A and B are shown apart, each in its own frame.
Chain A
Amino acid sequence: MNSHAHSPTTTEARLQRQLDHNRKLREQFERNRISVSQASILLIQYCQTKRDMLIPTVWGDLDVKDDPFEAKTAGCGCSVM
């Protein structure tokens, strides 16, 4: 007597899930990856070519006139002594 009465639908579902999982694994296997050294070079290159005003030691200080957070004096620009 069969004491493990699995209904056909649940075992089919199990097989389907496993096959779907395997399909994803196959995609992962076939994916083209670059090496850590190649990825590192690309990241380093990007950091070194994009001007970054938050890093003055590398890119130079911002001119006061280009700094949007410097309070600009309106009117004649006189200061009261």
Chain B
Amino acid sequence: MSSDMAERIANARKEAEYLKDKIREKKAALNDTSLKVMSQELEPLTRINIRIRRVLKGHLAKIYAMNWASDKKHLVSASQDGKLIVWDAYTTNKVYAIPLRSSWVMTCAYAPTGNLVACGGLDNMCSIYNLRTREGSVKVARELSAHSGYLSCCRFMNDRQILTSSGDMSCMLWDVDAGVKTMEFNDHTGDVMSLSISPDQRLFVSGACDSTAKVWDIRSGRCVQTFTGHESDINAVQFFPNGDAFGTGSDDASCRLFDLRADREMNIYTHDNILCGITSVAFSISGRLMFAGYDDYNCNVWDTLRSDRVGVLMGHENRVSCLGVASDGMAMCTGSWDTTLKVWS
């Protein structure tokens, strides 16, 4: 190696150390308090009167995913019985029961228009189904294939664009009509398990088995922020309703809140007697409540600001694998390995 090169590399390394120190200094200066301390004066939330209002029975095997429709009434669920079921959550009627080509499904999504649903899993593909065909039957519209690992999560931006995350450590943006990938998001060093799109649709956040959460600019494909703190796989991410923060759930038995503008972890939600992993997280419409599904069959309800646990929703006989809050904030739905979904309000 030439001595010139050696010198340049050494200088670059020194610059890196200098920058890291300066970043640490800057961040420390802004760390003037904590969200928990700032929230101390708020009234603690006492009576969380959330109970089971509907039980959706019909799946024959473990439910792995669910997603509410924008109309707040319908939701789609995916089970390893090889079916996607679209439910009317008010009446519990099954509106569609869609047989899948691959039963190893891990995720599902409802398009905002209600025209399409999507799912994917160990087949490494994202399959799009058209619910509103002219003939009246549900059909496969597209099979989006490019990931080299399992599909862990998919979320529609609109009828034309869908985001996916994968065990191949990447996320992709697809043009549904053309059936092709239009952007690839690479930076994670572990399986990407979950993603959530910001309310303004400019960004999305991903959580991965590398214990980090990353925020991406959808148009440029760049990773704009990385958040560390979790000590194990992040299984779930969800934007806080204002789009400036997001919640995470991890195998390290904690949920955390990260703020984009402060660029740091704001709160941690954990308890000494909680030892199992979190599978799913969602916020109530004001963001004050954070619902988290756990491997120990329960759903814990956290006060996002004060970090108190304000409720334990016990209703399932096996792991809570997924959950979501409807867009009007009136209901929360949990899905479980016990083959049922429960709607709480």
Q: Which residue of A lies closest to B245 (CB)?
A: A43
Given the interface pairs A4-B1, A50-B241, the reply to whether A15 lies near B16 with Cβ below 8 Å is no
**In the assembled complex, which residues on chain A have CB atoms less than 8 Å from the CB atom of B33?**
36-37, 40
Question: Would you call B305 an interface residue if the criterion is a C-beta within 8 Å of the partner chain's C-beta atoms?
Answer: yes
Number of A-B contacts (CB under 8 A): 157
Question: Would you call A38 an interface residue if the criterion is a C-beta within 8 Å of the partner chain's C-beta atoms?
Answer: yes
A27–chain B nearest beta-carbon distance, Å: 9
**In the assembled complex, which residues on chain A have CB atoms less than 8 Å from the CB atom of B46?**
57
**In the assembled complex, which residues on chain B have CB atoms less than 8 Å from the CB atom of A14?**
9
CA gap between A55 and B30 in the complex, in Å: 32
**In the assembled complex, which residues on chain A have CB atoms less than 8 Å from the CB atom of B35?**
36, 39-40, 43
Per-position contact with A for B103-125: 1 when CB-CB < 8 Å, else 0?
00000000000000000000000
Q: Which residue of B lies closest to A32 (CB)?
A: B261
Given the interface pairs A29-B26, A47-B305, A69-B90, the reply to whether A39 lies near B266 with Cβ below 8 Å is yes
Question: Would you call B329 an interface residue if the criterion is a C-beta within 8 Å of the partner chain's C-beta atoms?
Answer: yes
Per-position contact with B for A8-22: 1 when CB-CB < 8 Å, else 0?
000110110011011
Q: Is the CB of B286 within 8 A of A22?
A: no
Contact of A43 among B2, B53, B90, B240 (CB under 8 A): B240
Contact of B27 among A15, A33, A44 (CB under 8 A): A33
Q: Is the CB of A57 within 8 A of B262?
A: no
Question: Would you call B19 an interface residue if the criterion is a C-beta within 8 Å of the partner chain's C-beta atoms?
Answer: yes
Q: Which of B194-234 contact A (CB under 8 A)?
A: none
- Give the size of the chain B interface in residues (CB under 8 angstroms): 61
**In the assembled complex, which residues on chain B have CB atoms less than 8 Å from the CB atom of A44?**
38-39, 42, 305
Question: Would you call B264 an interface residue if the criterion is a C-beta within 8 Å of the partner chain's C-beta atoms?
Answer: yes
Given the interface pairs A33-B261, A43-B287, A50-B241, the reply to whether A55 lies near B26 with Cβ below 8 Å is no
CA gap between A33 and B50 in the complex, in Å: 37
B28–chain A nearest beta-carbon distance, Å: 11
Given the interface pairs A35-B30, A44-B38, the reply to whether A51 lies near B286 with Cβ below 8 Å is yes
Given the interface pairs A25-B20, A36-B35, the reply to whether A54 lies near B329 with Cβ below 8 Å is yes
Q: Is the CB of A54 within 8 A of B26?
A: no
A53–chain B nearest beta-carbon distance, Å: 6
Given the interface pairs A35-B32, A39-B266, the reply to whether A56 lies near B90 with Cβ below 8 Å is no
Question: Would you call B317 an interface residue if the criterion is a C-beta within 8 Å of the partner chain's C-beta atoms?
Answer: no
Q: Is the CB of B16 within 8 A of A25?
A: yes
CA gap between A18 and B11 in the complex, in Å: 10
Q: Is the CB of A15 within 8 A of B32?
A: no
The 7 closest A-B pairs by CB, nearest first: A52-B286, A40-B38, A39-B262, A50-B286, A69-B53, A25-B19, A18-B12
Chain A residues with CB under 8 Å of chain B are 4, 6, 11-12, 14-15, 18-19, 21-22, 25-26, 28-29, 31, 33-44, 46-58, 67-69
17 other A-B residue contacts (CB within 8 Å) besides A34-B261, A48-B286, A49-B286: A11-B9, A28-B19, A34-B262, A35-B32, A36-B34, A36-B262, A38-B261, A43-B287, A44-B305, A46-B242, A46-B286, A51-B285, A53-B329, A54-B330, A56-B49, A57-B45, A69-B343
Sample 18 A-B pairs with CB under 8 A, ordered by A number.
Answer: A19-B12, A29-B26, A31-B263, A33-B30, A33-B262, A34-B262, A36-B266, A37-B38, A38-B261, A44-B38, A44-B39, A47-B288, A50-B286, A52-B329, A55-B48, A55-B288, A68-B73, A68-B90
